[in-house]
């Protein structure tokens, strides 16, 4: 069994409402799908998502596709997908960085390998510990009354009892007051966290985190720029509310540095930013050994990418801060035939084979970027 081809598709999937971050507002999410096909015609599929072109990070969707096509695909053709760890180790020797591209390639190969054995992908990463995971929801309308109403609706439906607020855009002090009002309205019914997306400096962080801590916020995510390890260390030592590293926690070396200098006391996991599932498992091991709490992050993936994250997160002993892999709930449509299940404040982990999702090829064609030629759209 050898890999015969690897194809990459860029799709744009519309959301049910605007989703505000510090650097971008999502109304249509760009998603990349990778398909590894073996000599017998079996297919393995994977997904990574990007945010705002180049506004979130260096890995733009166009660069991801180009670099896979030109530099990574030739290295995986003819390889046995069962040896996915060796394949990606060899790729890493010849392709620097490109974490999102590597995550997409590895994911598709893992899906193919698991399907060839008719097992769930999590069996290749130590086996399933959790059948479901706590799931957060981002309140991102920017309107206090609307966010309170939405939170109460989610609680009533038993869909979410962890809420995140994106507060990196606009006036920090008004944003903090926005958070305080929402926390007062929902009280102890739910846990409230905030994500600053690197938008504050240290002075602003010192003032605002004190207010957030007093208000009962349970976690503050990446208040400072990713490069400011020393500032994050000072904040983590000063406040009792956990300070989470996200954009700063990319490579295994980054996470080791965070652990060594306590540049945060918790880590947001995201397979795409770490370079794949195998690297994410290593990051989680470093965090666990260092006493750092784990959070199952998202890049707002659709159902396939969410299944990938859920299956890996399900192999980890403890997700102290839960997960936020809510992406499928934010989209108007789906790229898979089957859906991810959300119930009783949790996401149900798909159980295979592979990542447990069946790609809807007609939907992929419908939402694919128009510049992709007919010869590329061979699905």
Pair of tokens at residue 333 = 């449509």
Q: Are 357 and 313 in contact (CB under 8 A)?
A: no
Under DSSP, the state recorded for 120 is: B
Tell me which residue of 81, 130, 105 sits closest to 316, measured CA to CA: 130
Examine the domain organization and report whether 189 and 316 are in the same domain. Answer: yes
Query: How far is Cα 117 from Cα 203, in angstroms, rounded to an integer?
Result: 54
Q: How far apart are the first and last CA of the chain?
A: 20
Q: Is residue 157 annotated as part of the catalytic site, yes or no?
A: no
pTM for the whole thing?
0.93
Examine the domain organization and report whether 60 and 17 are in the same domain. Answer: yes
Split the chain (379 residues) into runs of 10 and give each run's mean pLDDT: 96 86 78 97 97 76 96 98 97 96 98 98 98 95 91 96 94 96 96 96 98 97 97 98 97 96 97 97 97 96 98 97 96 96 97 97 94 57
User: What is residue 53's predicted lDDT score, i.e. its pLDDT?
Assistant: 72
Q: What is the DSSP string of 150-199?
A: HHHHHHHTTS-SEEEEE--SS-HHHHHHHHHHHHHHHGGGSEEEEE-TT-
Examine the domain organization and report whether 108 and 167 are in the same domain. Answer: no
Examine the domain organization and report whether 145 and 105 are in the same domain. Answer: no
Please check whether residue 376 lies inside any domain of the structure. Answer: no
Give the Å distances, CA to CA, from 244 to 84, 155, 175, 233, 267.
31, 25, 19, 11, 6
Examine the domain organization and report whether 228 and 269 are in the same domain. Answer: yes
Q: What is the CATH number of the domain that holds 339?
A: 3.20.20.120
Examine the domain organization and report whether 293 and 326 are in the same domain. Answer: yes
Q: What is the CATH number of the domain that holds 107?
A: 3.30.390.10
Query: How far is Cα 13 from Cα 336, in angstroms, rounded to an integer?
Result: 12
User: Up-side HSE of residue 6: CA atoms within 13 Å toward CB?
Assistant: 32
Examine the domain organization and report whether 312 and 185 are in the same domain. Answer: yes
Please check whether residue 353 lies inside any domain of the structure. Answer: no
Examine the domain organization and report whether 86 and 141 are in the same domain. Answer: no
Examine the domain organization and report whether 81 and 187 are in the same domain. Answer: no
User: Nearest-5° angle of CA 104, CA 348, CA 11?
Assistant: 35
Examine the domain organization and report whether 56 and 133 are in the same domain. Answer: no
Please check whether residue 76 lies inside any domain of the structure. Answer: yes
Please check whether residue 80 lies inside any domain of the structure. Answer: yes
Q: Are 192 and 163 in contact (CB under 8 A)?
A: yes
Please check whether residue 18 lies inside any domain of the structure. Answer: yes
User: What is residue 176's predicted lDDT score, i.e. its pLDDT?
Assistant: 97
User: What is residue 237's predicted lDDT score, i.e. its pLDDT?
Assistant: 97
Please check whether residue 174 lies inside any domain of the structure. Answer: yes
Instruction: Domain of residue 85: give its range.
Output: 3-119+360-367
Please check whether residue 374 lies inside any domain of the structure. Answer: no
**Number of domains making up the chain:** 2
Q: Are 128 and 156 in contact (CB under 8 A)?
A: no
Examine the domain organization and report whether 182 and 264 are in the same domain. Answer: yes
Other C-beta atoms within 10 Å of 187: how many? 9
H/E element, 220: strand 219-221
H/E element, 237: helix 229-238
Please check whether residue 378 lies inside any domain of the structure. Answer: no
Tell me which residue of 97, 73, 80, 64 sits closest to 6, measured CA to CA: 73
Other C-beta atoms within 10 Å of 311: how many? 28
Catalytic residue among 102, 115, 164, 166: 166
Examine the domain organization and report whether 82 and 184 are in the same domain. Answer: no
Query: How far is Cα 201 from Cα 138, in angstroms, rounded to an integer?
Result: 23
């Amino acid at each position: 069994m050898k890999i015969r081809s690897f194809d990459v598709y860029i799709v744009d999937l519309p959301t049910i409402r605007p989703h505000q971050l510090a650097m971008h507002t999502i109304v249509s999410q760009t998603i990349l799908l990778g398909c590894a096909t073996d000599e017998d015609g079996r297919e393995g599929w994977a997904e990574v998502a990007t945010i705002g072109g180049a506004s979130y990070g260096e890995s733009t969707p166009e660069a991801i596709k180009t670099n896979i096509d030109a530099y990574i695909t030739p290295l995986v053709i003819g390889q046995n997908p069962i040896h996915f760890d060796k394949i990606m180790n060899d790729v890493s020797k010849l392709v620097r960085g490109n974490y999102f591209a590597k995550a997409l390639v590895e994911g598709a190969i893992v899906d193919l390998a698991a399907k060839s054995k008719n097992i769930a992908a999590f069996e290749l990463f130590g086996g399933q510990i959790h059948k479901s995971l706590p799931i957060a929801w981002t309140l991102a309308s920017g309107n206090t009354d609307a966010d309170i109403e939405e939170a109460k609706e989610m609680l009533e439906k038993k869909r979410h009892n962890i809420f995140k607020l994106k507060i990196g855009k606009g006036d920090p002090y008004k944003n903090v007051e926005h958070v305080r009002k929402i926390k007062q309205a929902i009280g102890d019914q739910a846990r409230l966290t905030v994500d600053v997306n690197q938008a504050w400096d240290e002075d602003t962080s010192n003032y605002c985190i004190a207010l957030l801590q007093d208000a009962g916020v349970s976690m503050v995510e990446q208040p400072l720029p990713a490069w400011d390890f020393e500032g994050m260390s000072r904040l983590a030592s000063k406040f009792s509310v956990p300070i989470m590293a996200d954009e700063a926690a990319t490579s295994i070396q980054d996470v080791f540095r965070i652990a060594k200098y306590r540049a945060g006391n918790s880590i947001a996991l995201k397979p795409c930013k770490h370079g794949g599932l195998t690297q994410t498992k290593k990051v989680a091991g470093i965090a666990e050994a260092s006493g750092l709490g784990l959070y199952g992050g998202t890049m707002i993936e659709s159902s396939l990418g969410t299944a990938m994250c859920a299956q890996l997160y399900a192999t980890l002993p403890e997700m102290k801060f839960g997960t936020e892999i809510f992406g499928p709930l934010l989209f108007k449509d789906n790229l898979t035939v089957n859906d991810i299940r959300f119930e009783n404040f949790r996401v149900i982990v798909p159980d295979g084979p592979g990542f447990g999702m069946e790609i809807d090829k007609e939907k992929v064609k419908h939402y694919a970027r128009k510049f992709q030629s007919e010869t590329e759209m061979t699905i």
